[in-house]
């Protein structure tokens, strides 16, 4: 029976939005006084500088953190909405700002510390002066040997090694647009991106260490070149960095005339310097591809002046980076977090940024804390998935190491309050300010976060809009939703880090992000062009936002929307649970029902009792409506190489649908185990869903994104 046909008691009048936020309010954690004393933003007067009446001029303060060859005359040109132009008239070079100016001021200061995965290998320190030399020589090679010039695109498919920022900064020096594809992506995925961006040069590496193995990476270059060719894009040259000097880590032959070892080609450019090309603020700096719900990946185009200003400003105030900090972001440079908050933001501020090659739990769950202790890391930045994993494999590990974090970040997914508290008390030893930063590939930098010294933390909430960014929650029709109810989070105003367009697809850019809430397509007023983020969220009375997940991650049970994260957070309350993922299963009566997959912390046994506990916890936290049809206890979740749980894979298993391509997962072997376990149990219970319709299949296939 559909819920709407049930008797209209008080319970039935609870709106779906209200149901989606039955998530208890968490208590505040004040910023630690020692952190406040030294913070870049400790004077509340900063809020006055960013009030809405000061928009867009408030952002000049971010641009002033950079060195400009020519000052801008217009902070924001909004004459062609929604294609915003920031700092128009200004000219600058990103590589100059990240390297030269620091190399001049403090040449011996360490810019990058590279930590190889193998613990027996020493870490490598690169000073600003040395970085400048490497960037210059690589830029000279790109220009003189390969003929690359301003505006050309180059695809990078590189792992977590310092050669990656060197390559990016060398491109930036010439005004060449780099497009780094996450190293864990397949060759074919890389090839599609080569074709889409029209790159004729691919820069890769022979191999890299991951989970203790020297992975063959160059082999993917051949697949990439073939895939690009199928789409009509020829790759003329493949540049291959070598992970270890003089050795070749790949089985793949070097293609005659096409493939070149970087070190051999570079030797001809030793000692050369390249004048940084003075780029207009609105010239593209790089492309970063991201998956949409449909269609081919979108190449997000990020600008030079606006992007650089935004990452410098947010790194200063939200990451609290000072030049003498030891900053470690454990994300991959192949994602936007790595571009903004490993490379461009920290280097623009002249700090030391740590690059770790491998997986966080190699060889054991204590590795990150050993690195922190050894290098004296005081700012630490990672994702909820990494935190959950480290908590699972080594809940007591942080205690064993003598490091002190003043500041920690979580990014990329909603974090369950239970997990946040472990991060705070165990990883941060109760002494660190934590920022939960909500933003997207498209955004360049943070959109939602607390200002760490001035706004208290609240587990599970990212906080209010960041300085100069004004979020709003709309219903489907564009009406503002009152506090405490779920809706679509949008940003009312442009900000300097916003991407400029989707490479080659301006209409898709407008349609995906602006069409939904634009009331007048002829309007030249930015106020008429709110940015649609595609996330569900709730604003609490204190103005803090709780992100519920992608709007396509919502499970509609009997007409009620349930945020997967909300269900998962409830499951996480069970102390034995390490990770949880909720997926929809097609149900003839209620439309969709929820199934929950959990993995347990070490030492706990799966079984009916544990399943019951999870189910009860969800019912107790949210209500009967969210009670899962099944709880599946699995040894591990299928995950991407970046660590996100692949909900579409388990959703497909639960629905007896084709799981699709799982070859790019970090752990593809787990998929068959889970399928066998779940589907045989469902067959035994006579609980096999009917064949899905095409529309339903599409929904399941894309559930959870990626």
The binding site for ligand 6R9 (CB under 6 A) comprises 290, 335-337, 411-414, 436-441, 462, 533-535, 547, 549-550
Nearer to ligand 6R9, 300 or 600 (CB): 300
Q: How far is the CB of 466 from ligand 6R9 (least distance, A)?
A: 12
Could you tell me which residues are beta bridge partners of residue 486? Answer: 538
Nearer to ligand 6R9, 469 or 593 (CB): 469
Q: How far is the CB of 284 from ligand 6R9 (least distance, A)?
A: 18
Nearest 5°: phi and psi at 511? -60, -45
In contact, 174 and 273? CB cutoff 8 Å: no
Nearer to ligand 6R9, 274 or 387 (CB): 387
Nearer to ligand 6R9, 93 or 512 (CB): 512
Nearer to ligand 6R9, 21 or 533 (CB): 533
Neighbour-count burial for 268-291, b at 16+ CB within 10 Å, e otherwise = ebeebebebbebbbbbbbbbbbbe
Nearer to ligand 6R9, 250 or 337 (CB): 337
Secondary structure (DSSP) of 458-488: -TT--BSBPTT--EEEE-TTSPBPPTTSEEE
Nearest 5°: phi and psi at 196? -60, -40
Nearer to ligand 6R9, 100 or 553 (CB): 553
Q: How far is the CB of 216 from ligand 6R9 (least distance, A)?
A: 27
Distance from C-alpha of 371 to C-alpha of 390, rounded to nearest angstrom: 14
Q: How far is the CB of 336 from ligand 6R9 (least distance, A)?
A: 5
Nearer to ligand 6R9, 241 or 509 (CB): 509
> Which uninterrupted H or E stretch holds 87?
strand 85-88
In contact, 194 and 226? CB cutoff 8 Å: no
* Helix count and strand count (H, E) for the chain: 23, 30
Distance from C-alpha of 343 to C-alpha of 350, rounded to nearest angstrom: 11
DSSP state of 393: H
Nearer to ligand 6R9, 273 or 290 (CB): 290
Place of tokens 């009670």: 627
Place of tokens 């867009």: 56
Q: How far is the CB of 417 from ligand 6R9 (least distance, A)?
A: 12
Q: How far is the CB of 537 from ligand 6R9 (least distance, A)?
A: 9
Nearer to ligand 6R9, 369 or 545 (CB): 545
Q: How far is the CB of 457 from ligand 6R9 (least distance, A)?
A: 12
Separation in Å, CA 457 to CA 401, 411, 436: 25, 14, 8
Q: How far is the CB of 539 from ligand 6R9 (least distance, A)?
A: 14
Q: How far is the CB of 105 from ligand 6R9 (least distance, A)?
A: 31
- Encoded tokens for 235: 């790759």
Nearer to ligand 6R9, 365 or 563 (CB): 563
DSSP state of 592: E
Which of 26, 52, 14 is closest to 546 using CA atoms? 26
Q: How far is the CB of 64 from ligand 6R9 (least distance, A)?
A: 25
Q: How far is the CB of 176 from ligand 6R9 (least distance, A)?
A: 24
Distance from C-alpha of 282 to C-alpha of 265, rounded to nearest angstrom: 32
- Encoded tokens for 274: 């390249």
Could you tell me which residues are beta bridge partners of residue 489? Answer: 473, 535
C-alpha gyration radius of the chain:
25
In contact, 193 and 299? CB cutoff 8 Å: yes
């Amino acid at each position: 029976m559909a819920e709407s046909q049930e008797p209209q008691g008080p319970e039935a009048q609870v709106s779906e939005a209200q149901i989606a936020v039955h998530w208890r309010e968490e208590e505040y954690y004040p910023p630690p006084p020692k952190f406040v004393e030294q913070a870049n933003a400790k004077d509340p007067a900063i809020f006055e500088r960013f009030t809405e009446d000061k928009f867009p001029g408030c952002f000049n303060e971010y641009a002033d953190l950079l060195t400009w060859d020519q000052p801008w005359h217009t902070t924001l040109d909004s004459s062609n909405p929604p294609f915003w132009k920031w700092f128009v008239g200004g000219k600058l070079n990103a590589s100059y700002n990240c390297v030269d100016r620091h190399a001049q001021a403090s040449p011996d200061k360490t810019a990058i510390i590279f930590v190889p995965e193998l613990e027996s290998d020493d870490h490598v320190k690169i000073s600003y002066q040395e970085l400048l030399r490497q960037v210059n020589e690589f830029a000279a090679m790109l220009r003189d040997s390969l003929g690359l010039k301003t505006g050309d695109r180059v695809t990078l498919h590189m792992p977590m090694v310092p050669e990656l920022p060197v390559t990016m900064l060398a491109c930036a020096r010439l005004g060449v647009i780099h497009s780094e594809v996450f190293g864990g992506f397949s060759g074919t995925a890389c090839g599609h991106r080569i074709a889409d961006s029209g790159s004729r040069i691919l820069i890769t590496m022979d191999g890299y260490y991951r989970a203790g193995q020297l992975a063959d990476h160059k082999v993917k270059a051949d697949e990439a070149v073939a895939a690009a060719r199928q789409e009509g894009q020829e790759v003329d040259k493949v540049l291959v960095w070598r992970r270890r000097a003089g050795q070749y880590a790949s089985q793949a032959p070097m293609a005659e005339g096409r493939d070149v070892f970087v070190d051999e080609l570079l030797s001809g450019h030793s000692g050369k310097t390249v004048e940084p090309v003075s780029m207009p603020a609105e010239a593209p700096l790089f492309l970063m591809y991201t998956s949409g719900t449909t269609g081919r990946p979108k190449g997000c185009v990020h600008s030079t002046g606006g992007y650089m200003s935004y990452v410098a400003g947010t790194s200063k105030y939200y990451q609290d980076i000072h030049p003498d900090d030891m900053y470690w972001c454990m994300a991959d440079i192949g994602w936007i977090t790595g571009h903004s908050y490993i490379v461009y933001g920290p280097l623009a501020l002249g700090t030391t940024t740590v690059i770790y090659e491998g997986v966080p739990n190699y060889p054991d769950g204590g590795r990150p804390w050993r690195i922190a202790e050894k290098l004296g890391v005081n700012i630490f930045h990672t994702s909820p998935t990494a935190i959950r994993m480290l908590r699972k494999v080594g809940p007591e590990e942080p205690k064993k190491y003598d490091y002190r974090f003043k500041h920690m970040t979580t990014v990329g997914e909603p974090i369950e309050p239970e997990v946040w508290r472990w991060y705070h008390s165990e990883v941060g030893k109760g002494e660190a300010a934590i920022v939960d930063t909500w933003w997207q590939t498209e955004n360049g930098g943070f959109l939602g976060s607390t200002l760490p010294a001035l706004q208290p933390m609240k587990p599970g909430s990212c906080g209010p809009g960041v300085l100069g960014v004004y979020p709003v929650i709309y219903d489907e029709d564009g009406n503002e939703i009152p506090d405490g109810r779920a809706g679509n989070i949008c940003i009312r105003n442009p900000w300097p880090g916003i991407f400029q367009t989707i490479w080659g697809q301006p209409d898709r850019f407008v349609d995906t992000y602006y069409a939904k809430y634009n009331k007048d397509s002829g309007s030249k007023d930015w106020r008429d062009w709110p940015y649609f983020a595609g996330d569900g969220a709730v604003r609490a009375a204190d103005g803090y936002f709780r992100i519920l997940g992608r709007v396509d991650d919502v499970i509609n049970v009997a007409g009620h929307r349930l945020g997967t994260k909300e269900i998962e957070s409830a499951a996480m309350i069970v102390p034995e649970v390490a990770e949880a993922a909720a997926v929809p299963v097609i149900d003839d009566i209620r439309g969709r029902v929820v199934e929950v997959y959990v993995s347990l912390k070490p030492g706990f046994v799966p079984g009916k009792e544990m399943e019951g506990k999870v189910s009860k916890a969800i019912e107790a936290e949210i209500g009967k409506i969210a009670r899962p049809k099944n709880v599946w206890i699995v040894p591990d979740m299928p995950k991407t190489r970046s660590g996100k749980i692949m909900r579409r894979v388990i959703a497909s298993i639960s629905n007896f649908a084709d799981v699709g391509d799982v070859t790019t997962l970090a752990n593809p072997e787990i998929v068959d185990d889970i399928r066998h376990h779940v589907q045989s149990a469902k067959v035994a219970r006579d609980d096999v869903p009917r064949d899905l319709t095409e529309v339903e299949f599409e929904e399941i296939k894309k559930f959870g994104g990626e």
